[in-house]
Structure 1
Amino acid sequence: MSQVLGRVFIGSLARRRLATALSLFAIALGVALGLAVQIIHAAALEEFGRGMRLLAGEADLQVAGSREGFDDVLYSRLAMREEVSDASPVVELEVRLPSHERSLALYGIDALRVAHVHPALMPQSDEARREGAALDVLQHDALFLSPAAQAELGVAPGDRLDVVAAARVVSLRVAGAVPGAGQGRALAVMDIAAAQQLFGRVGRITRIDLSLKDGIDIPAARDALAADLPPGVEVLTPRAAEELAAGLSRAYRVNLTMLATIALVTGGFLVFSTQFLAVARRRKEFAFLRALGMDRAALMRGLLVEGAVVGLAGGLLGIALGHGIAAIAFDVAGGDLGAGYFKAVSPALRFDPVASGAYLILGVLAGLAGAWLPAREARRMIPARALKSGDEAVMFRFRAHPLGASACLAGAAALCLLPPLGGVPVFGYLAVALILVGAVLVLPILVQGFARIASRLRRPLWRLANARLAAAPGQGVVAGAGVVASVALAVAMAIMVASFRDSVDRWLTAVLPADLYVSASPLGTSGFLEPAILERIATLAGVSRTMPLRFDTLRLDDERFPVSLIARPVDGGRLLPLVGPATPIPAGERPAWVSEAMADLFALAAGDALVLPLGGKPVAFRIAGVWRDYARQQGAVAIELADYRAVTGDLVANDVGVILAEGASFDTVAAAVRDIVGENTVRIASPGEIRARSLAIFDRTFLVTYAMEAVAVLIGLFGVSTSFAVLAIVRRKEFGMLRHLGMTRSEVGRLITLEGVLTAAAGTSLGLAAGAAVAVVLIEVVNRQSFHWSMDLNLPIGGLLVFAATVIALAGLAARVSGHQAMRGSAVLAVREDW
C-alpha cells in the first residue's frame, strides 16, 4: 500500500477517534480477559507442577494408595525388588492448624532415605553446627517448615505450632526449615515414625517413591511392579500423577477461556459496526477514489488493513491489561481464580510470550473479521451510483435469512448430541457460536416487527422511527448485533449461574439432614473421632441420634484421579439426593450409590456390579442408584457405614452429624460436645452455617464470570453508542430536512432516542431468547461434559426483565448522547452538504 493510500485509510482511524477508541478498547478487553485467564492458570499449573516434581524428587515411579494409606509392609517388599535402586516411604497428611484456621500439607519422611530420592525435602536444623543437630529430625515433636510456610504462618525456628492430631491439639516445635522447597509451596516435614505415631497411622503409609537402577525400562518396571500390588494401590510415573492432579482444573480453565473468547467475538461485532458505518459515511470518498483509478482489490485491502490495525492496537493494549489483571487476580483470588484447585500454590506473574503472541493474533483476526463484510460491501460498490446523494441507504437494506437461521439452530442441536473431545465440550461451544450467528441472521425480521408495533401509535415520531427502520433494517442489524451477542452471553450465564446456585442450595439441604455437625479435620487425614468419643456424643442430653461419617479416597485405576469414598448412614438411598429412582438390590449383596461424575467417568449405571478396594482387599457391591454431588468433580461413591465397618473393622469417624431431640438447644449441645473433645479440636457448625459458607465460596468462584458478563454488556453498549454516533453523522442531511419541516432539535433528539430504544429492544429481546437457548446448551451439554454433574433449570425472570429494561434504557441514552453532535450544526448547511 502506497504512503498516500496509507494516509487515506489509516488516517481515517485518527479522524474517527471515538469510534476507533471504542472498537480498540472492546478488542483489548476480550484479549485482556482471555490472556489473564491463560497467564493465571499457566502460572498456577507451572507452580503446581513444580511442587509435584519437588515432592517426587528423583523418583522414577510412585506407588500411591488411598488417603488413609496402605500397610507399610509393602515398602520393604518393594525396596527388595531387583529393579529398585532406592525406595522412600512417605505419609502425606493435611493437618488442621486451629490457631490459624487453615490446614497445612505435612509429609512424614524417612530421614535416612529422603536424601537419595527427593533431596529437596531434606530438613535442615536451625542449629546445623550443633553436635547432634542431624538427629533433630528424629525427635517426636520436631517439625520443619518450608520458607513459604514460615512466611504464611508467621513462625520461625524455635517457635511452637499447634496442630490437630486425632481429637486433640498437639504443640510441635519448629526445629528448622526445608530450604529445598523454596518460596512457592507451603509445606511441613517431620519424621515418618513420629507422624505415624502422632496422627494414628502406625503401620500405614500413603506413598512410596522409587528410584530404579540404571538401564531399567521404566514402563516395563511399572507393569511388573503393578502386578505385585494389593487392590487400591497403583504405580504411577511422577508425570502421570502431576497430569492427573492438574486435570481436575482443566474444565474450569477451558470454560473461562471460552467466556473470554466470546467477549473477544463481541468486540469483533463492534469492529463490524464501526467499520460498516464508516464505509457508509465515506461511500462517496471511496467512489471518488475508484473514479480516480483505484481498483476494487486495493479498496478492500485498505479497509481490511484498517480493521487489522484496530485489532493490532487492541491486542497490544489487551496484553498490557491482561498482565495487569493477572497481577491483581494473584493477590485477590489466587492462582485458581477462587475455584480452590491450587490452594497451597503461590504463583508469580511472568510474561508469557507464546500466549501473548497468540492473543495478539486473535485480536488482529477479530479486527479483520469485523472489517471483512464492510470491505466486501465497499468492493461491490458502483462508483457512478455512490457519487449520488443518498446512495448509502442501499447498504442498510439487509435481508433476513430465515433459512440460514434455521440451519444454524439445526446445526447447534446436532452438535449438542456429539461427545466431548478429550474431555473438552468443543461441540457444545460450537453450538453456542451457531446460536449467536442464527440470532444475528434473524435480527432484521425482529427489527421490522418492532417497527410495525411502533407504527400503530399515531404519533409522528413513532411513525418516523417506523419508516426509517422499515426502510433500512440494516441500521438495526449494525447497531444491534453487538447487543444481541453481549445480552445473550450475559443472560445465558445469569441463567446458568442461577440454576447452579439454586441446585447447590437444594443439594446442600439434602446432604445435611442433621441439626449439628462436628468435624475433626477438613480432609479427614489428621483428625478423627474415636469410638469412645462417638459414644459419649450419642448419649448426651438433647441428642436424639447421631450419624457418623467416614471419608477416604479409592484408586480404581491408574488413568483417573482417585474417587472419594463416603461411608455414612444412607437409609437405602433416602438420605442422598438421587437423580432417579433407587434400584432394588438382591438380598445378600452390598448396595453402593455412585455420583453422576463417577457414573460418567467410569461408565457405570444403576444395577451394575462395582468392586471397591477396602481394607486391602476387593469387595463386591451393586450400584443401587446415582446421586447428585457438587463437591467432588473426580467422582464419589457412598456406602452404608455398617458395611464399611464390617469389611474394614475401622470404627473411627471424620465427622458426625447430630440430630437434636425435640426442644434441645443447639448451643447447649455444642458446648457439651466441646467439653468432651476439648477446645479447638473440632469444628462445630449448623447446616445453615455450612450452607452459607459453601454458597459464599460458590459466589467467589463465579466472581470472574460476573466480571466477564459485565464486560460483554459494556462492549454491547459501546456498539450502540458508536453505531448511533456514526449514523447520526451519516443522516445529517435527513435531520436538516426534518428541521426545515418544523421539527425542533429536541424532537430530532427524541427521534434518535426512540430509534435506539426500538433497536435495543429488538436486540435485547433476541438476546434474551438466544441467551436462554445458550443457557440450555451450557447446562445440559457444556456443564455436563466438563464437570459431569447435572442441575435443574432455574429462570431468574425478575432479574432478567430488570436487566433487559436497563440495557434498553441505557441504549436509548447512548443513542441520544451520540446523536447530539449531529443536531448542533446548521440545518441549512446540513441540507446543502453534498459532493
Structure 2
Amino acid sequence: MSLVGATSRRLFLASLLRHRLATALSLLAIALGVALGLAVQLIHGAAIDEFGRGLRTLAGEADLQLVGPREGFDEAIYPMLAKRPEIAEASPVLRIEARLPGREDTLEILGVDMFRVARMQALLRPRADPALVDGDGRLAGLQPRNIFVSVDARARLELPSRLGNGEMAGPALRDGVLTVQSGVSGIELRLAGELPLSGAELAVMDIGGAQQMFGRIGVLSRIDLKLAPGLSPEAAGLALSPLLPPGLALQVPEAAAGEASALSRAYRVNLTMLAAIALLTGAFLVFSTQVLSVARRRREFALLRALGMERRQLLRGLLAEGAVLGLVGGVIGVALGHALAALAFRLVGGDLGAGFFRGSRPELQFDAMLAAGYLLLGGVAGVLGSWLPARAASQVAPARALRAGEAQYAGLPHMQGRLPLALLLAAGAGLACMLPPAGGIPLGGYAAVALSLMAAVLSLPALAQSLLPLLGRTRSVIWRLAHARLSATPGQAVVAAAGVVASVALASAMAIMVSSFRVSVDDWLAQVLPADLYVRASSSAASGYLDDDALARIAAVPGVASVDTTRLLNLRLSDEEPVFSLLARPVDGNWGLPLVAGSTGRPDGSKPGQSSLPPAWISEAAVDRLGLGVGDRLTLPLAGRQQSFVVAGVWRDYSRQYGAALIEPADYRALTGDDRVNDAAIRLEEGTDAGAVADALNARFGPGRLIIALPGEIRATTLQIFDRTFLITYLMEAVTVMIGLFGIATTFAALAGTREGEFGMLRHLGFTRGEIGRLIAAEGALTAGFGVACGLLAGGAMAWILIEVVNRQSFHWSMDLAVPWAALVLFAAVLVSLAALVARLAGARAMRGSAVQAVKADW
C-alpha cells in the first residue's frame, strides 16, 4: 500500500504536467468562465457600493426619506411631517437635473433649506468664496441665483464637452457664470463657492431659488427625516405611512441603492448565466481531456489495480486531477476577473453595457467571499468534468485492461443507450419552461437551457449514427478512412464534439435571440416613430420642457402641418413596484401605438362601474407585473390622489422594462393640471424639407435650446445602443466558441499520440505525411460537423426558451422570431473549417517520426 500511496501522487497529479497542452487548454477554459462571471459581479457590486455611499453621504444624518415620483410631489406634506412627534428634524430637497444648453451632459442641482441642511447634511452646507461674493458671504446661500458646486463638478463644467457627432461644445461655466436651461429658456446662475464634498459631481442652491428658477414652485423631490431619539425607522414608518398621499413612500436612505440594483438585476443575471454556460463548456473540455487521459493510461491503472490499489483510491485520484485543474483554473480566473473589472472601470466606469450606472467611476474592491465562491465553482467544474471518466476507469477489470491492444481505444465512451435519457432531459426542459419566475428571476428557464444542453450532448451519438451512413458514399480514400474510423469509434466524436455542441448551442441560441430582438425593436421603432420630425427641450429627466407657448411657436413655423405631444412621468405605485411610467399622448388611429391586444377605443362591455372611467393602454410589462388585462381597472397615483382608468389595450414597449401606461393628453391635463410636455412629434406639409424646418426651429428658439432629430436618426441611435448593450454577450459567445475549438484541438492532439502506429502503417502503404494530415483534418471536420449540427438543433430550442421564457420573465417583452439563416450557415462553415485546421495542427506531432519507428511496437 505504501507503494501505491507513493505512486499515486506521481501518476495522478504529475500527469497534468506531462500533458501540458491539454492541461493548459482546460485551465484556460475554466479560467475564462470564472473570470467572466466574477467580472460581472465585481463591476455591479462596486457600482452599487459607490451609488450607496453617495446616497448615504447626501442623506447625512437622515434616518428616513420621504420619496415619490421623479417629477416631485406637493410640498404641503412637509409642514405636517415636520410637526409630528416622531420627527426631530425634517430637511426638504428639490432635485433638478439641469440641462446645459448646447451640451449633452447635465448637472445635478439640489435645492436645499440652508438652515436645515446645516443640521442634517453637513457635506451639503456650502462654503462661500469671498472672491466670488460681496461682503463676508454669510448670506450668499440665500441668494436665489447663487450656486455652489463640488470640486469634481467644477472641473467638468470648466472643460469643453464632446458631442455625439464629434464636435466640441464650449465650457458651461465661464467667468463664474453657469448657464442652465429651464423649459426652453436659459438661466444664468452665479458661482458663489464650493461644497465640502469629494467624489461627487453636483451643485447646491437655495430651495426657494431652485423652485423659482426652474418653475417648480410648491414641488419637492424628497424630504430627509431625522427621527426622535429612541424611535426606530420601522416604528416611524408604521406611524407615518397611513398619513401619506398616494404615490409617496418612506424608506431608509440605502433603499434607493436596492432599487437601482433591482433595475439592473435581470440584465446582470443574464450575463452571469452566460458566464455559467461558458464555465459549463469548460467542464465539457475537462471531460474530454480526462476521458482521453484515462484511455491512454488504461493499462497503467490496470497494473496499479493488480498491485493492490482499490477502486475508490483510483476514483479519488482521478477526481483529484479534475479538482486541481478546476482550482488552478479558478485561481487564474479570479485574477483575470479582477483584471477585467479593473479594465472596465478604467474604460467605461460602472456601466454594465446597458446604460446602468453610466458615468459612475467606482473603485475595484476585493471581495474574499465572492472570490472564494467563484474559485469553488472552478473546482466543481473540474470535478464534474472528471466524474464520468473516473467512474468508468475504476470499474474496468484489470485482467482485461492488461491485454495487448486493449488500451488504445477502449477507454473512449461508447455512449450507447443514451437517447432515452436525452429524451427524458428534453422533457424535463419542457416542464421547467412552465415554472413561474422566482423573485423575478426565470430559474425555470435557465434550468431548461441547461437541460437542453445536456440532452443535446447525450443525443450526439444517435445523431452521428444517423448521419454517418449518409456521408460515406464517396470515392475519396481519405474521406472513406475518416468515415470508417469514426464509425468504429463513435466515442471519439462524442469526446471531441461535446465542447463544440455546448459552444455552438449557446452561440446560435444567442444569435437567434439577439436577431429576433433587434428585428422586433427595429419594427417597433418604425411604428412608434411615424412623424417627420421630433423635438424636445431635454431628456424626460432633465430640466428642459415644452409648454403651451413653446408648442404654439413650433406650430407657427412654416411647413409644420400638425404637432402631437408626449408627457412622460415616472410614478411610484408601491414600495414593491417603485418604477412605473405614465405617458400622455394621442392614440387615435393607432398613431404610433403597437397594440398586441385590445383596440384604440373603449373596450366593449366594460365591467359594471367602469363605463365612466377614462381609458388607458398598458404595456406588456404592466400586464405581467400588475396582473391586468383588457377591461380591468387600473389605479394610478396622480396629483396626490388615486385615479382609476379602464384598460383599453395592451401595447409592446421595449424602452420601459418595469411597465408603462398611456392615457390621452386631455385626460391627463384634466386630472393633474400639468401642461408641460417632454416631446413634440411634428408632421410636415407635403414637400417640406425637414432640414429647413429644423433650422427654422433653432433660429426661433436659439442654438442648443432644442434637441431635434429625424426618425431615422433616432432609430440609428437606438440600434447603436442596442448593439452596445449586447457587446458583452457577443464577447461571451466568442469565448465559448474558442473553448469548443480548444476541445477539438485537445482531443485530436491526444488521439494522435496514441495513433502513431496507425499512421506509420499508412505510411508503409504509400500515404504521404500530407495525406495523413488531410485524413486528420477530415476527421476533425466530420467530428465538428456532428457537433455543429447537434449544437444548431439545441441552439434553436434554447433560443425559443430564451425568447419565450427567459426574456418574457426577465424583461416582460414579447418579440417576433427572426432566424439569421445566412449568418448561421456562415458560422457553421467557418467553425467546421477551423476545426479541420486545428485537428490538422494538433496531429502534426504524431507524423514527425519515421515510419519504421512508428510501427516498431507491433513487431
Q: Name the CA distance, whole Å, in 2 between partners of 1:132 and 1:533.
A: 41
RMSD: 1.9
Is the 2:63–2:226 contact (alpha carbons within 8 Å) kept by the matching residues of 1? yes
Shift of 1:81: 1.1
Is the 1:480–1:760 contact (alpha carbons within 8 Å) kept by the matching residues of 2? yes
Which one of 376, 395, 398 corresponds to residue 411 of structure 2? 395
Q: Name the CA distance, whole Å, in 1 between partners of 2:677 and 2:308.
A: 86
Partner residue of 2:602?
584
Shift of 1:815: 0.7
Shift of 1:25: 0.8
Q: Name the CA distance, whole Å, in 2 between partners of 1:405 and 1:244.
A: 41
Which one of 421, 424, 432 corresponds to residue 449 of structure 2? 432
Q: Does 1:418 align with 2:435?
A: yes
Which one of 154, 165, 189 corresponds to residue 172 of structure 1? 189
Per-residue CA deviations over 1:163-204 (Å, capped at 9, x if unaligned) read: 211111223233332223x21x32222211111111110111
Q: Does 1:404 align with 2:428?
A: no
Mapping 1:493-504, distance limit 5 Å: 493-504=510-521
Shift of 1:333: 3.0
Which one of 802, 805, 808 corresponds to residue 781 of structure 1? 805
Shift of 1:335: 0.9
Q: Does 1:515 align with 2:532?
A: yes
Shift of 1:71: 1.8
What is the number of equivalent residue pairs in this alignment? 833
Shift of 1:539: 2.4
- For residue 563 of structure 2, what is the amino acid of its counterpart? T
Is the 1:728–1:819 contact (alpha carbons within 8 Å) kept by the matching residues of 2? yes
Alignment TM-score, normalising by the size of structure 2? 0.94
Partner residue of 2:263?
248
Three-state SS of the structure 1 residue aligned to 2:115 is: coil
Is the 1:480–1:720 contact (alpha carbons within 8 Å) kept by the matching residues of 2? yes
Is the 1:425–1:786 contact (alpha carbons within 8 Å) kept by the matching residues of 2? yes
Is the 2:97–2:107 contact (alpha carbons within 8 Å) kept by the matching residues of 1? yes
Is the 2:181–2:544 contact (alpha carbons within 8 Å) kept by the matching residues of 1? yes
Three-state SS of the structure 1 residue aligned to 2:323 is: helix
Provide closer, same or farther for how the CA distance between residues 67 and 590 of structure 1 changes in structure 2, counting only shifts above 3 A. Answer: same
Shift of 1:688: 0.9
Which one of 486, 490, 495 corresponds to residue 469 of structure 1? 486
Q: Name the CA distance, whole Å, in 1 between partners of 2:107 and 2:267.
A: 25
Choose 440-449 or 50-59, whichever is displaced more. Answer: 50-59
Q: Name the CA distance, whole Å, in 2 between partners of 1:588 and 1:572.
A: 22
Three-state SS of the structure 1 residue aligned to 2:855 is: helix
Shift of 1:647: 1.9
Q: Does 1:727 align with 2:731?
A: no
Shift of 1:643: 1.0
Q: Does 1:350 align with 2:374?
A: no
Per-residue CA deviations over 1:231-277 (Å, capped at 9, x if unaligned) read: 22222232333322321111111111111111111111111111111
Provide closer, same or farther for how the CA distance between residues 628 and 169 of structure 1 changes in structure 2, counting only shifts above 3 A. Answer: same
Q: Does 1:667 align with 2:683?
A: no
Shift of 1:84: 0.9
Q: Name the CA distance, whole Å, in 1 between partners of 2:231 and 2:175.
A: 44
Provide closer, same or farther for how the CA distance between residues 171 and 639 of structure 1 changes in structure 2, counting only shifts above 3 A. Answer: same
Which one of 59, 69, 91 corresponds to residue 88 of structure 1? 91
Choose 696-705 or 380-389, whichever is displaced more. Answer: 380-389
Provide closer, same or farther for how the CA distance between residues 524 and 349 of structure 1 changes in structure 2, counting only shifts above 3 A. Answer: closer
Q: Does 1:307 align with 2:317?
A: no
Per-residue CA deviations over 1:133-174 (Å, capped at 9, x if unaligned) read: 232222222222233323443468963332211111223233
Q: Name the CA distance, whole Å, in 2 between partners of 1:772 and 1:147.
A: 54
Q: Name the CA distance, whole Å, in 2 between partners of 1:42 and 1:86.
A: 32
Q: Name the CA distance, whole Å, in 1 between partners of 2:155 and 2:13.
A: 53
Partner residue of 2:168?
none
- For residue 300 of structure 1, what is the amino acid of its counterpart? L
Partner residue of 2:170?
none
Provide closer, same or farther for how the CA distance between residues 433 and 53 of structure 1 changes in structure 2, counting only shifts above 3 A. Answer: same
Three-state SS of the structure 2 residue aligned to 1:552 is: strand
Three-state SS of the structure 1 residue aligned to 2:139 is: helix
Shift of 1:400: 4.3
Three-state SS of the structure 2 residue aligned to 1:332 is: helix
Partner residue of 1:804?
828
Choose 627-636 or 571-580, whichever is displaced more. Answer: 571-580
Q: Name the CA distance, whole Å, in 1 between partners of 2:708 and 2:268.
A: 34
Shift of 1:3: 4.6
Partner residue of 1:606?
630
Partner residue of 2:272?
257
Partner residue of 1:638?
662
Partner residue of 1:363?
378
Partner residue of 2:136?
132
Three-state SS of the structure 1 residue aligned to 2:595 is: coil
Mapping 1:181-196, distance limit 5 Å: 182-183=198-199, 185-196=200-211
Partner residue of 1:548?
565
Three-state SS of the structure 1 residue aligned to 2:284 is: helix
Q: Name the CA distance, whole Å, in 2 between partners of 1:171 and 1:339.
A: 34
Which consecutive unaligned segments of at least 5 residues does structure 2 have? Answer: 160-172
Choose 429-438 or 348-357, whichever is displaced more. Answer: 348-357
Q: Name the CA distance, whole Å, in 2 between partners of 1:144 and 1:400.
A: 75
Mapping 1:591-630, distance limit 5 Å: 591-630=615-654
Mapping 1:45-444, distance limit 5 Å: 45-127=48-130, 132-154=136-158, 159-180=176-197, 182-183=198-199, 185-392=200-407, 393-396=409-412, 397-444=414-461
Q: Name the CA distance, whole Å, in 2 between partners of 1:400 and 1:757.
A: 25
Shift of 1:574: 4.4
Which consecutive unaligned segments of at least 5 residues does structure 1 have? Answer: none
Shift of 1:454: 1.9
Partner residue of 1:458?
475
- For residue 472 of structure 2, what is the amino acid of its counterpart? S
Partner residue of 2:163?
none
Q: Name the CA distance, whole Å, in 1 between partners of 2:354 and 2:58.
A: 23
Shift of 1:120: 2.8
Shift of 1:210: 1.2
- For residue 446 of structure 1, what is the amino acid of its counterpart? L
Is the 2:48–2:260 contact (alpha carbons within 8 Å) kept by the matching residues of 1? no
Choose 670-679 or 756-765, whichever is displaced more. Answer: 670-679
Shift of 1:528: 1.1
Is the 1:593–1:627 contact (alpha carbons within 8 Å) kept by the matching residues of 2? yes
Three-state SS of the structure 2 residue aligned to 1:398 is: coil
Q: Does 1:536 align with 2:540?
A: no
Three-state SS of the structure 2 residue aligned to 1:46 is: helix
Q: Name the CA distance, whole Å, in 2 between partners of 1:524 and 1:348.
A: 27
Is the 2:322–2:382 contact (alpha carbons within 8 Å) kept by the matching residues of 1? yes
Choose 133-142 or 186-195, whichever is displaced more. Answer: 133-142
Q: Name the CA distance, whole Å, in 1 between partners of 2:656 and 2:97.
A: 17
Choose 5-14 or 734-743, whichever is displaced more. Answer: 734-743
Identity of aligned residues (%): 55
Provide closer, same or farther for how the CA distance between residues 138 and 389 of structure 1 changes in structure 2, counting only shifts above 3 A. Answer: farther
Three-state SS of the structure 2 residue aligned to 1:645 is: helix
Q: Name the CA distance, whole Å, in 1 between partners of 2:826 and 2:451.
A: 27
- For residue 804 of structure 1, what is the amino acid of its counterpart? A
Choose 327-336 or 796-805, whichever is displaced more. Answer: 327-336
Alignment TM-score, normalising by the size of structure 1? 0.97
Three-state SS of the structure 1 residue aligned to 2:775 is: helix
Shift of 1:524: 4.1
- For residue 735 of structure 1, what is the amino acid of its counterpart? F
Is the 1:26–1:270 contact (alpha carbons within 8 Å) kept by the matching residues of 2? yes
Q: Name the CA distance, whole Å, in 2 between partners of 1:245 and 1:714.
A: 34
Is the 2:292–2:411 contact (alpha carbons within 8 Å) kept by the matching residues of 1? no
Q: Name the CA distance, whole Å, in 2 between partners of 1:523 and 1:55.
A: 23
- For residue 514 of structure 1, what is the amino acid of its counterpart? A
Q: Name the CA distance, whole Å, in 2 between partners of 1:303 and 1:295.
A: 13
Q: Name the CA distance, whole Å, in 2 between partners of 1:293 and 1:654.
A: 82
Is the 2:130–2:136 contact (alpha carbons within 8 Å) kept by the matching residues of 1? no
Is the 1:277–1:723 contact (alpha carbons within 8 Å) kept by the matching residues of 2? yes
Shift of 1:756: 0.7
Q: Name the CA distance, whole Å, in 2 between partners of 1:248 and 1:279.
A: 48
Q: Name the CA distance, whole Å, in 2 between partners of 1:90 and 1:253.
A: 32
Per-residue CA deviations over 1:764-784 (Å, capped at 9, x if unaligned) read: 011111011111111111111
Is the 1:398–1:472 contact (alpha carbons within 8 Å) kept by the matching residues of 2? no
Provide closer, same or farther for how the CA distance between residues 672 and 99 of structure 1 changes in structure 2, counting only shifts above 3 A. Answer: closer
Provide closer, same or farther for how the CA distance between residues 524 and 77 of structure 1 changes in structure 2, counting only shifts above 3 A. Answer: same
